[in-house]
Amino acid sequence: MLRVAVLISGRGSNLQSLIDACRQEGFPARIVGVISNRADAGGLQRAADAGIETAVISHRNYADRAAFDAALDAKIRGFDAELVCLAGFMRILTAGFVEDWRDRLINIHPSLLPAYKGLDTQQRALDDGVRISGCTVHFVRPDMDTGPVIIQAAVPVLDNDDAASLTARILAQEHIIYPMAVKLIAEKRVRVQENRAMVDMPPGPEKALISPSTGL
Ligand code: GRF
């Protein structure tokens, strides 16, 4: 069983997807602790409801990022975690922390990286008029929203979409691919080679997502 720590700042719907996956029989990972930098994060209740240990480490109580990250690191090590999942964790981590957890620290982001790093990804995709959007699970590197991509899901952008509808379509896929990524890592099917994450999986049907679908 891979021991996983999850870091959150908010409602924790991705945390919930990981909790639900870990409940499935045979799932090769379990969540040993959830850390939030905000005491009011909704995800803390989700963790508590699932009987998972929680901790609040407020960045406001630390003089600088390095001190905050050191406190995070100590807590994660206290949980004896082997993998750290960022799930809507809204703090930028120091290069030191990221390097200490290299290839054991993953993030979920609501775009097809490297497109649309940062915030407001869905509105920016709409503003640009793209036809395909999606989400990415990746290993974390010091530069924000970079690092080897483990898994991505693509969704169509529809003509009547607004940011809310596109966000919901992407989020539904986030909840699928984040547990998949954790499972692949726990099963040791993911190997990092330079900037690529190689995933040991039988080849899929290689079906393209065409948007708008022509129906042909
Ligand atoms: C998700 O869209 C995730 O991709 C991004 O932050 C959001 C967190 O949502 N990093 P939740 O707290 O998991 O519901």
Residue 89: inside a domain, yes or no?
yes
Residue with CA at minimum distance from ligand 1 atom 2: 110
Q: In CATH, what number is assigned to the domain containing residue 110?
A: 3.40.50.170
Residue 216: inside a domain, yes or no?
no
Domain holding 105, by residue range, is 2-198
Distance 89 CA to ligand 1 centre (A): 8
Residue 119: inside a domain, yes or no?
yes
Residue 205: inside a domain, yes or no?
no
Residue 213: inside a domain, yes or no?
no
Q: Is 109 designated active site? A: yes
Residue with CA at minimum distance from ligand 1 atom 6: 88
Structure confidence at residue 215 (pLDDT): 72
Structure confidence at residue 203 (pLDDT): 87
Residue 214: inside a domain, yes or no?
no
Residue 39: inside a domain, yes or no?
yes
Of the residues 59, 109, 138, 175, only one is catalytic, namely: 109
Distance 108 CA to ligand 1 centre (A): 7
Long-range contacts of 113-122 (CB under 8 A, 24+ apart): 113/138, 113/145, 113/146, 113/149, 113/152, 114/145, 114/146, 117/144, 117/145, 117/146, 118/144, 118/145, 120/163, 122/163, 122/166, 122/167, 122/170
Number of folded domains that form the chain: 1
Residue 191: inside a domain, yes or no?
yes
- Segment-wise mean pLDDT, segments of 10 residues, the chain, 216 residues: 98 98 98 98 98 97 98 98 98 98 98 98 98 98 98 98 98 98 98 97 89 82
Structure confidence at residue 204 (pLDDT): 87
Structure confidence at residue 216 (pLDDT): 63
